[in-house]
Structure 1
């Protein structure tokens, strides 16, 4: 039986203006914290495929395993899990709900700064962002959201959010982390 914990990943370089636009917009409102975005694919496709079909430890296990993976330190040295992964609380989102979640991030205020992106532009930016995460229709995306401050990088207050996005057909994980403090 293959589990998510056995899957090894490599970092995928991200160079996409649709992703940069959202990171810039959210960074402007979360200036005392920050935004991190990363992309990862498995080194061996059969390990990922085995975990997708064999790991029966529950629907949250893929997200917990990804947050525990040492590859995340490539984004920031402080992005290593500092609490028991089993204690994290997740909500599962589909691709279309993910668009709304990204729109909310773009439009939300940080600790001291309000968004200056109007709702119509924010919706277009979020749709483009989610389309950049997937190589086609986003209905197959599986997203996990947590507000838990699971790593020292987070400020540990109301503006902490992590989105993990799994694109199963292309075996790709995305992570979006946002934090701010007053």
Structure 2
């Protein structure tokens, strides 16, 4: 995976289909077995796109998802509490080293685990400094 992060650091992620390679690896398939990642994967698995502001706005995006809730219920607390919760999550994931992270996002059901509804989201946080990838998948049922 360090080689993949080297390509990522050079902004060549799409050229080398690094997300497809990542999700197609045996260790990722086993670690994320609940997703039931399809095999074979298409060239554009999930239609992931780089989040233009990287992790800088991720807390706001996650807070928005929390506040809007799922299929049946909205968040009952104040939006500021959702923002604090999301901020704590982003801080735990990035240690506020925003310049070391790339965020890619998909809003489609790219694996059977997703409910194929409007609440399907995947966020991939790639830590180029430590050669680590975090996958955050969100869904709900209709």
Q: Which one has more relative contact order, counting CA pairs under 8 Å at least 6 apart?
A: 1
Indicate how the Cα distance of structure 1 residues 160 and 85 shifts in structure 2: closer, same or farther if over 3 A, else same. Answer: farther
5 Å-filtered alignment, 1:128-147, equals 128-147=88-107
Aligned-pair CA distance for 1:162:
0.5
Q: Residue 124 of structure 1 corresponds to which residue in structure 2?
A: 84
Equivalent-residue separation in structure 2 for 1:57 and 1:175 (angstroms): 16
2:56 and 2:16 mapped to 1: Cα distance?
19
Contact 1:131-1:138 within 8 A present in 2 as well: no
Aligned to 2:25: 69
The alpha carbon displacement at 1:87 in A equals 5.3
Scaled by the length of structure 1, the TM-score of the pair is 0.64
Q: For 1:59 and 1:126, how far apart are their aligned partners in 2? A: 32
Measure, in 1, the Cα distance between the counterparts of 2:91 and 2:13. 30
User: How many equivalent pairs are there?
Assistant: 138
Unaligned runs of 5+ in 1: 1-6, 8-44
| Residue 46 (structure 2) aligns with | 88
**Contact preservation (8 Å) 1:67, 1:81:** no
More strand by percentage: 1
**What does the per-residue CA deviation read over 1:121-146, in whole Å, with 9 as the maximum and x for residues that have no partner?**
11111111111112343243211110
The root-mean-square deviation of aligned C-alpha atoms, in Å, is 2.6
Say which of 69, 73, 78 aligns to 1:113. Answer: 73
CA distance in structure 2 between the aligned counterparts of 1:158 and 1:177, rounded to whole angstroms: 13
1:175 to 2:131 alignment: no
**Where does the alignment leave 5 or more consecutive residues of structure 2 unmatched?**
none
- TM-score, structure 2 as length reference: 0.79
